Amino acid sequence: MIRIKMLLWFCRRPTFWPHLIFLLLNKVRKGRDRPEDATQARSWSEKHKEPFADVLLKLGLLDEKGNIPKMPKNELEEARSKVASISTHMGGAADLELLYAVVTLLRAENVVETGVAYGWSSLAILSAQERSCINGSLVSVDMPYPLRNNENFVGMVVSKKYHDRWTLLRVPDRVGLRKAIGAFNSKIDLCHYDSDKSWYGRSFAYPILWASLRSGGIFISDDIQDNLFFKEFCEKVDSDFFVTEVRGKYIGILKKPEMAQSGA
């Protein structure tokens, strides 16, 4: 019965049909999200993980004093209060310290993220831009949650004062990624991936986001311990990669190679 309702939900939304086809194809494709794949991915992530501050240093973002910008506590407390006031659960927050610091230190103007839920990562990105006087904006892609009746809570922790620099596209990645990237007149400074964690979902989204990054741009992906795609992607693009860990989950970070400057 639930499957029929889900199918009808998609059928009423033609824009989402590409995502429905993707889900149906996954039923017959070779499994890439097996428990043994997750075990290998977690082992690889654990082997390569580094402290948060070390990663920022290796990314070339920290100044000589090594100061790491912190998200204001009052803003976090206000957001937690909003979430505590409702009973709907939409998953945990990303590594907000990492996102806030990277946006601030990279001075990221053009930012794309996938996966919003309550909007924790959106809040961290937008707060960093605002408080660091970065003339930038964020475009977020977040597919509505079928049959869960929680659409009204998506992005709820994002303060209204940030809405003028935030665009939320309520569509699947297969529709929204290129729209999000196309919203900017230049390459992207930072991409944060936190939507479809399946191997095939990542195999679609990673290359698109990676191609959209500018030279020296940063790509961040949550929950890389779920399968081996992040590891495989690192090997394919042959770029510097880093892994951090927070609350038992692993975050993968890639830096787009800097383009060599031609001589005069």
d(CA 220, CA 195): 12
Q: Residue 207: which CATH number?
A: 3.40.50.150
Whether 97 is covered by a domain: the verdict is: yes
Instruction: Examine residue 18 and state whether it is found in any structural domain, yes or no.
Output: no
Q: What is the pLDDT of residue 32?
A: 87
| pLDDT score of 262 | 41
Residue 64, pLDDT score: 67
Report the relative pairing of strands 249-255 and 241-246 from DSSP bridges: antiparallel
Q: For residue 143, what pLDDT is reported?
A: 80
Range of the domain at 49: 32-255
pLDDT for res 65: 75
Q: Tell me what pLDDT residue 149 has.
A: 63
**3 assigned to some structural domain:** no
Rg, C-alpha atoms of the chain: 18
Global pTM reads 0.89
- Please indicate, yes or no, if residue 192 is contained in any of the structural domains: yes
Whether residue 22 is contained in a domain is answered as no
Q: Angle 199-212/229-237 helices, nearest 10 degrees?
A: 30
Strands in the chain per DSSP E: 110-114, 137-141, 166-169, 188-193, 213-221, 241-246, 249-255
> What does pLDDT average to over the chain?
88
Structural domain count of the chain: 1
Note the pLDDT of residue 194: 94
- Strand bridging mode 213-221 / 249-255: antiparallel
pLDDT in tens, the chain (264 residues): 556 776 666 676 777 767 777 777 777 778 888 999 999 999 999 999 999 999 999 999 987 678 899 999 999 999 889 888 887 776 667 789 999 999 999 999 999 999 998 999 999 999 999 999 999 999 999 986 665 566 677 889 999 999 999 999 988 898 899 999 999 999 999 999 999 999 999 999 999 999 999 999 999 999 999 999 999 999 999 888 999 999 899 999 999 997 754 443
- Measure the CA–CA gap between 106 and 20, rounded to whole angstroms: 37
Query: Could you give the CA distance from residue 101 to residue 204 in angstroms, rounded to a whole number?
Result: 28
**pLDDT for 8-46, tens place per residue?**
666 767 777 677 777 777 777 788 889 999 999 999 999
Residue 214 lies in a domain: yes
The residue type at 94: A
**In-domain check, residue 246:** yes
Residue 205 domain-assigned (yes or no): yes
Three-class secondary structure of residue 79 per DSSP: helix
Supply the pLDDT for residue 263: 42
Q: Say what the pLDDT of residue 264 is.
A: 34
So what's the pLDDT on residue 62? 86
Burial label for 67, CB within 10 Å (0-12, 13-18, 19+), is exposed
| 213-221/241-246 β-pairing | unpaired
Q: What is the distance, to the nearest Å, from the Cα of residue 56 to the centroid of all Cα atoms in its chain?
A: 17
